[in-house]
Structure 1
Amino acid sequence: MFFKRLIVSFLARKNKKAVDAWSKKSVDNQEKIFTKLVTTLAETKYGKKIGANEKMSLFDFQKKSPINSYEDLSPYIKLISMGEKNVLWPGRPAYFAKTSGTTSGVKFIPLTTEMLKNQINSSKEALLLYAFYQKKFEAINGKMMFVQGSPILKKYGKIKTGRLSGIVANHIPFFLQSNRLPSFKTNSIENWEKKTENIINETIGCDLRLIGGIPPWVIMYFQSILKKTHKENINVVFPNLSLYVHGGVNFKPYKNTLRSLLPNVDFLELYPASEGFFAYQDDIKDDALLLLTNHGVFYEFIESNEFLKGEGQRITLKDVVLGKNYVLIISTCSGLWSYNIGDTVMFVNLNPYKIVITGRIKHYISAFGEHVISKEVETALDLCLTKFGGEVFSFTVCPNISPENGLPHHDWFIEFVKKPTNFSSFCEYLDASLRKQNIYYNDLVKNNIIKPLVVNCVKVGSFN
């Protein structure tokens, strides 16, 4: 065990030097990645269609390759599924990462061997940085569990496909196989309730050191564990558990619930997606995420307000400024070109480049001209939970344009695990917090065009 700890300590120091080196050259990294990508683009069906060449400038690329949605690239993805080569990237992708879309239903995102390597290495970087800064090298001596999609892959046409987490589960290094939970057999169960039951049976009594997974899944697992063991919190069940790794959804609504379940565990946020691994938290004391600029992704950014007007200039990393909402546009070594992933980000540091995720470009309310975005909603709720207590499992917000009585308003539907101490004050403060952030919403309420928001308490599980 001491030998394993020594190896992790060595790798953590080596990793820290590597991250320091590339994060100081982020703009140069991006220029090199762009050059490499466009050289490859010229060999593809998409590249030939837009007239790409190996020496294409950024100006020409932006002129010839428009912003693409999944719908724009889906004809090419269909050709790939039929076995055609050199469509979006030389050869064929190793996999399709299957994901759900808000407008396109199921999406099949090309995943090349190079991008898969970047996905795995990015996770490794984040974990080794955590080990380096916190001087915690013991995780490898115990069990590590990642609540994932099924590792059993199917086929879309001629290409293997599965959830990204399920694909990655097939590439766990051999020296970590004995540390991994749940078992391959349990991880392959599709029914979530049955899968949770099997995970509980496999994990109770084990020396769990690290857990990863999206918050709703992990909370359900933890609550089931406590119900079965009758323990006070998860740290009593797993005394050596020290790290929870999360990503993929907004964490703020779940933070209080998870903190009550895990009073002595660190939280580490990652920003992975089927399209690429974009950022991770390099310091658990700082909520901002380090943008990964040397990991197979070329970034462009468009100011959100301009994008929603159908306008906006595509800028690169060297031209971003602090405090502005940007739509994230990517080109990748999996063959996604000028691709709008739908996320919005804001830079909070330029040396090194750090971001916060501010929401989805299509997730906003503007039924009355208020243009309330995800970040404003989430910040307001977080402020209220901090001030009044309470725990939220999930929530949604929508406009009520034609209520039976009174003025139009925003309806908030919240699944409270634990209700705030003073509910009426909570609701008033929630509205005030939103008004403080958004001048348009404030004007509408102040001028009696709409009334203050209404909070509706709904049963946990209502959104399932």
Structure 2
Amino acid sequence: MSLKSVAAKLFAQKIYKKTQAWANTPIETQKTVFLNLIQDAKQTQFGKDHHFEEIKTYEDFAKLVPVRDYEDLKPYVDRVVKGEENILWKGKPLYFAKTSGTTSGAKYIPLTKESMPYHIEAARNAILLYIHETKKADFVNGKMIFLQGSPILEEKNGIKLGRLSGIVAHFVPKYLQKNRLPSWETNCIEDWETKVNAIVNETINEDMTVISGIPSWVQMYFEKLQQRAGKPVGEIFKNFNLFIYGGVNYEPYRAKFENLIGRKVDSIELFPASEGFFAYQDSQKEKGMLLLLNAGIFYEFIKSEEFYTENPKRHTIGEVDLGVNYVLIISTNAGLWGYNIGDTVQFTSLKPYRVIVSGRIKHYISAFGEHVIGKEVECALQEAMIGTTVRVNEFTVAPQITPTEGLPYHEWFIEFENEPENSDTFAEALDNAMRKQNMYYDDLIVGHVLKKLVITKVTKNGFQDYMRSIGKLGGQNKIPRLSNDRSIVAVLKQK
């Protein structure tokens, strides 16, 4: 065993003990985070506007600070973007993570000197806890690749801005620099397809042991590797045994990945966002990701079924239940307050608090009151594939409310790697699985309000072509699993 591997195991033991300390005192940990956030922001413009000096308890906070999304917070963010100080958080941000907006164009999410370290530490600690549990550390001697956005940053009123993954690239620890690929020059390539080809050139002859990125884009990298070498990725990289991912659920991709690799590999799931690093998989044996309660983020949770009611109840960490779909609300040391990030989560464990990402509050189908969420369609597809040779590259689902004839239905747009032997049988299995996932959907089928789902096949690379057509190929961009309208699938129909 190398000196580097030994050092990694010792460091992993230290981080494990630190993690256990706060994970075993969750309510106290969140109370400390909450009080520190309020104290540090009392003299900000937001703190003054919302009477932070009067806030002594969480109940005070909930009365004075409403739940907001980006559009609601935008007047404050606009002042920060203009270069004003002490608006949402003390001083100025170090960076803005620039993301795609909806009604307001680009979104600028602040990253401060207090929040930035947690983004780096969380990703590091996820790997260290994997080492601690599995005792596997030899991979630290090989090469690691992180498929991410360009590290080239712009500047706006003295504050640098770029994609979160590009910003994080500036904080890679020195001890990883020699092992890390691709090169800085390749990472700076903006065009995703050109970039992936360059990454293939740089890595195909290296000893890659860890590969990280959003599954859909890593899949493209693996396909190009396989095309170039004419053999599975696992034979190209014989010591590759750890895949780290975030952004989307890996399960719909797992069968395709294992086919491309030629064997199973361990995986670690992360839950990062521009607004904060919320959770990571801390165990290979347990379901869900450890919610990071000590990372400068105070969490609130609203049941998704109540979210659009007039006064939905806001729950703190000690009030949540297993298996309930919650909208995630955060207040952070980057100056986001009562902020709805748009993700929904479900708790898989309360000792410690672990979550899965169940979908997006705006990405659902409820054209007939069924409120189908992302987790449900992903689980249904996985169940339908069991015992078959079917493999799926990508998919999305939308309602067909006004068919030319017959009852309305849910239409599944699927790009198959391996098509089902019998399409009708597979559609039947998928519909049955969907009915088990969502009782409201089942009621609509039984009541003849909806007919059974319809599968529409998408041509090879159809989803990539769609993402290219809207200027979102690669990087952190991903296809929504669900839409309550047909804006996405209308374009796919034309492919």
Under a length normalisation based on structure 1, what TM-score does the superposition of the two structures give?
A: 0.97
Residues 297-347 of structure 1 show CA distances to partners (whole Å, capped at 9, x for unaligned) of 100011111113343211100111112111100000100000001111111
The answer (yes or no) to whether the contact 1:331–1:337 under 8 Å persists in 2 is yes
Q: Which residue of 1 aligns with 2:123?
A: 123
SS at match of 1:76: helix
Runs of 4+ in 1 over 4 A off after TM superposition: none
How many angstroms does 1:433 deviate by? 1.4
SS at match of 2:258: helix
The code of the aligned residue for 1:224 comes to K
1:287-298 alignment to 2 at 5 Å? Answer: 287-298=287-298
Q: Which residue of 1 aligns with 2:41?
A: 41
The answer (yes or no) to whether the contact 1:235–1:264 under 8 Å persists in 2 is no
SS at match of 1:197: helix
Residues 217-274 of structure 1 show CA distances to partners (whole Å, capped at 9, x for unaligned) of 111011101101111x111000011100000112222121112223142111011111
C-alpha separation between the residues in 2 aligned to 1:376 and 1:4?
Answer: 42
Consecutive unaligned residues in structure 1, runs of 5 or more: none
Range moving further from structure 2, 240-249 or 389-398: 389-398
1:78-89 alignment to 2 at 5 Å? Answer: 78-89=78-89
How many angstroms does 1:421 deviate by? 3.4
C-alpha separation between the residues in 1 aligned to 2:225 and 2:187?
Answer: 17
The answer (yes or no) to whether the contact 1:325–1:358 under 8 Å persists in 2 is yes
Q: Which residue of 2 aligns with 1:238?
A: 237
How many angstroms does 1:54 deviate by? 6.6
Q: Which residue of 1 aligns with 2:448?
A: 448
C-alpha separation between the residues in 1 aligned to 2:47 and 2:172?
Answer: 34
The answer (yes or no) to whether the contact 1:97–1:110 under 8 Å persists in 2 is yes
The answer (yes or no) to whether the contact 2:146–2:211 under 8 Å persists in 1 is yes
The code of the aligned residue for 2:236 comes to V
SS at match of 1:170: helix
SS at match of 2:178: helix
The answer (yes or no) to whether the contact 1:400–1:409 under 8 Å persists in 2 is yes
How many angstroms does 1:276 deviate by? 0.6
How many angstroms does 1:183 deviate by? 0.3
SS at match of 2:106: strand
C-alpha separation between the residues in 2 aligned to 1:372 and 1:3?
Answer: 51
How many angstroms does 1:461 deviate by? 2.4
C-alpha separation between the residues in 2 aligned to 1:110 and 1:128?
Answer: 28
C-alpha separation between the residues in 1 aligned to 2:105 and 2:286?
Answer: 35
SS at match of 1:193: helix
RMSD of aligned residue pairs (Cα, Å):
1.4
Q: Which residue of 2 aligns with 1:253?
A: 252
Q: Which residue of 2 aligns with 1:186?
A: 186
The code of the aligned residue for 2:238 comes to P
The code of the aligned residue for 2:252 comes to P
Instruction: Indicate whether 1:172 and 2:169 are aligned.
Output: no
C-alpha separation between the residues in 2 aligned to 1:105 and 1:445?
Answer: 39
C-alpha separation between the residues in 1 aligned to 2:207 and 2:54?
Answer: 53
How many angstroms does 1:22 deviate by? 1.4
How many angstroms does 1:46 deviate by? 0.9
- Evaluate the alpha carbon distance shift between residue 91 and residue 274 of structure 1 in structure 2; reply closer, same or farther with a 3 A threshold: same
- Evaluate the alpha carbon distance shift between residue 343 and residue 80 of structure 1 in structure 2; reply closer, same or farther with a 3 A threshold: same
The answer (yes or no) to whether the contact 1:39–1:54 under 8 Å persists in 2 is no
The answer (yes or no) to whether the contact 2:287–2:348 under 8 Å persists in 1 is no
Q: Which residue of 2 aligns with 1:206?
A: 206
How many angstroms does 1:102 deviate by? 4.8
Residues 52-111 of structure 1 show CA distances to partners (whole Å, capped at 9, x for unaligned) of 217532111111110011011112111111111001000001000112245544211000
C-alpha separation between the residues in 2 aligned to 1:54 and 1:115?
Answer: 25
Q: Which residue of 1 aligns with 2:485?
A: none
How many angstroms does 1:386 deviate by? 2.1
The answer (yes or no) to whether the contact 1:155–1:161 under 8 Å persists in 2 is yes
1:56-455 alignment to 2 at 5 Å? Answer: 56-231=56-231, 233-262=232-261, 263-455=263-455
How many angstroms does 1:14 deviate by? 1.0
SS at match of 1:244: strand
C-alpha separation between the residues in 2 aligned to 1:322 and 1:448?
Answer: 32
The code of the aligned residue for 2:213 comes to G
SS at match of 2:386: helix
Consecutive unaligned residues in structure 2, runs of 5 or more: 468-495
C-alpha separation between the residues in 2 aligned to 1:420 and 1:86?
Answer: 58
Under a length normalisation based on structure 2, what TM-score does the superposition of the two structures give?
A: 0.91
C-alpha separation between the residues in 2 aligned to 1:284 and 1:103?
Answer: 40
SS at match of 2:270: strand
The code of the aligned residue for 1:128 comes to L
Query: How many residues get paired?
Result: 463
The answer (yes or no) to whether the contact 1:46–1:88 under 8 Å persists in 2 is yes
C-alpha separation between the residues in 1 aligned to 2:447 and 2:310?
Answer: 30
The code of the aligned residue for 1:96 comes to F
Residues 31-66 of structure 1 show CA distances to partners (whole Å, capped at 9, x for unaligned) of 000000011221111111112217532111111110
The answer (yes or no) to whether the contact 1:38–1:54 under 8 Å persists in 2 is no
How many angstroms does 1:395 deviate by? 1.0
- Evaluate the alpha carbon distance shift between residue 264 and residue 368 of structure 1 in structure 2; reply closer, same or farther with a 3 A threshold: closer
Identity in percent: 49
- Evaluate the alpha carbon distance shift between residue 129 and residue 197 of structure 1 in structure 2; reply closer, same or farther with a 3 A threshold: same
Range moving further from structure 2, 16-25 or 384-393: 384-393
